[in-house]
Amino acid sequence: MPTTNAAGIALIKEFEGCRLQAYPDPATGGDPWTIGYGHTAGVEPGQTVTQAQADAFLISDLRMFEQQVAALVQVVLTPNQFSALVSFQYNTGALDGSTLLALLNQQQFAAAADQFGRWVYANGQVMPGLVRRRAAEKALFLRA
């Protein structure tokens, strides 16, 4: 199974940031609570972790999202394309059933890349951080 390359990990780390104390979801002001590099499983208000725990959560979460992307994609991807999709799935969890995935599996790579920019909303509002992240994912996806 492919794994996320260094560029993809750097992108995820940049946009998720690392916080060692649990914080509420920016869009909801509550659930899901998040810690480390965007880790949400079992996180509760007031929870803290060490940097080593945050790093371990990142590796574990990456493997889960890599498996999801590998299971959904039916075409051969470059390492950058795969890594961009893992970042997208890590942040949205929305690859399955998306137009992005449908176009990708039809080998319409340019049209699929254009879909990243549609995923910039939270609670009906355009989020500037998501605009930047989707642009970075698209750029990585299109990088040779």
For residue 50, count other CB atoms closer than 10 A to its CB: 10
- pTM of the model as a whole: 0.95
CATH topology (fold) of 6-142: Lysozyme (1.10.530)
Q: Tell me, what's the pLDDT at 100? A: 98
Q: What is the pLDDT of residues 38-55, one digit of tens each?
A: 999 999 999 999 999 999
Q: Which helix (H) or strand (E) holds 116?
A: none
Domain range annotation of the chain: 6-142
| Active-site annotation, residues | 16
Q: What is the pLDDT of residues 77-97, one digit of tens each?
A: 999 999 999 999 999 999 999
Counting every residue, how long is the chain? Answer: 144
